[in-house]
Amino acid sequence: MKKKNTQILDFSKIKKENMGEKEGQQPDKKINRNSPCPCGSGKKYKKCCLPKYEKAIKQTREDSAIKNEQDKAEMERQEIISKAFALIREGDYKKAVFVATTSITGYKSDDRFFDIMFFAYLGLRDYKSAIKLTEERFDVAVQEKSFFIENNCHRNQKVDPNAFCFFYKPDNWLKKKWMAVKSSEYLEMKNNDNNEFAFQLVEELKKANDMELFPQQQQEGYKKRRDALADAVEKLKEMGDTALPQFMELSIDVNWASLFIPELLSACDLKTSVEYFMEIALFGNPFITEESLKSLEKMGDSIVEIINDFIFMHDEYAVIKTPILAVLGNIGSDRAFSILEKVLEHKEDVLVNDAGWILGKVGRKASLPLIKKADDRLNGAHKLTWAIEQLS
């Protein structure tokens, strides 16, 4: 957005100049238009500083009116968004899609409404529409980012500097596409499984989403639900890998039942649990991501080769895998560090930058030559430059 003329908008400064205010001297209450200007120019006030004063007053009023309109519009958007996400939490996905679709007409530059549609499509198990949406919004995000870098504003702001926009970063939509693709795979896995007992136990866990049964929120809400549904959780854990095709579907929805996933995965075979922990860690659900990464770190050096394979798979999604690199840094073994050094040669700059930064943070001096080489290749990436300074 274009910067406004701060000289004109500095109301207090102009007022002091125009009113003849000096340090230790009170300004006159009123200056006649035809009086000599207090600035000492010798001109009449109306021919000198008064127009600046009046222009400042007008600009201030216009800015205030614009801000009031923007605040009012944002409150209206927030109200619609809150109601739509409430519908998703309640499982009324069709109505949520309707609300988002009808609202998008007036808010095409607000990705939050497209986000509502995304999660509603997941709830409806309409993965084709969810994936298509993420691909379309990813393209828009890339274009907007490029335009902003070149013009210091978004495209709609080029026409109207006061135009509202709320665009997600490209990586955000890529993360959502990953979630939709994996969710589709989990549903197919469930549909091909005939473990009726596991199915019934998972249905029992879905009672956690009943707000009338469990009105509690946050940590208390989780504890109440975990205690009440302990029998189903423990039986699924005893079944291990055989129950996985049924319970992984819980990770698709943003609800209370999905919070049991990390605990259930921990009871599975090591390789299986590591692979699925890494997959869901990239979904963006704060609780599941944090618990998944913690679980991976606890497994230690024994899993670094599995992590290595995951990092160098699915190149399309490379930029969203940075949380997995942090796991290697926290494991802190020589094998973990060697994988981070290998990542320094990755074609995706974001991964290279983060790998170098992690190696610098842990003080891995042996990696310095490789970090310098990567830094030269990227022409001085800021995280790599920092790592070099730390290790030199």
Over its length of 392 residues, how does the chain's per-residue pLDDT go in tens digits?
444 443 333 434 434 444 444 333 334 457 788 888 888 888 888 888 888 887 887 777 776 766 667 667 678 888 888 899 889 888 899 999 999 988 888 778 899 999 999 999 999 999 999 999 999 999 999 999 999 999 998 888 888 887 888 899 999 999 999 999 999 999 999 999 999 999 999 999 999 999 899 999 889 999 999 999 999 999 999 999 999 999 999 998 878 999 999 999 999 999 999 999 999 999 988 889 999 999 999 999 999 999 999 999 999 999 999 999 999 999 999 999 999 999 999 999 999 999 999 999 999 999 999 999 999 999 888 899 999 999 99
Of residues 137, 86, 83, 130, the one with CA closest to residue 109: 137
Which two tokens mark 368? Answer: 């310095």
Q: Could you give the dihedral angle defined by the CA atoms of residues 87, 92, 94 and 95, in that order, rounded to the nearest 10 degrees? A: -50
Tell me how far apart the alpha carbons of residues 317 and 174 are, in angstroms, rounded to a whole number: 7
Contact 260, 228 (CB under 8 A): no
Look at residues 108, 116, 173, 113 and name the one whose alpha carbon lies nearest to residue 139.
173
Q: Say whether pTM exceeds 0.75.
A: yes
The dihedrals phi and psi of 362, each to the nearest 5 degrees, come to -85, 0
